[in-house]
Amino acid sequence: MERLADGKTSSTSATPPAFPYGTKSRATIETFAMQIVDFLLENDVKALVIACNTIAAVAGQKIRQKAGNMPVLDVISPRAGSL
């Protein structure tokens, strides 16, 4: 993260009204996630970090597609890659 940040500031986004995700459908979770990604992309972010297991598992692929060549990090991939 420090290498990607290169001295730049960070921004955090969350969906408190959407919590908890356990009772939400896959489509609802994807919708929430894509709304956040759209907002962040409109604000010229340089990388995305998915710090939620549910969002990473349910919408990670769609987020990566939407982000294009932008770095997208999540909390699942590093561990899954080590197995």
Task: Report pLDDT digits (tens) over 18-67.
Answer: 667 778 899 999 998 999 999 999 988 889 999 888 899 999 999 999 99
pTM: 0.75
Virtual torsion, Cα 71, 13, 29, 2, nearest 10 deg: 30
Q: What is the DSSP letter of 43?
A: T
The residue that leads in pLDDT, 82 or 51, is 51
Q: Give CA–CA dist 38/20, Å, rounded.
A: 21
Q: What is the pLDDT of residue 42?
A: 92
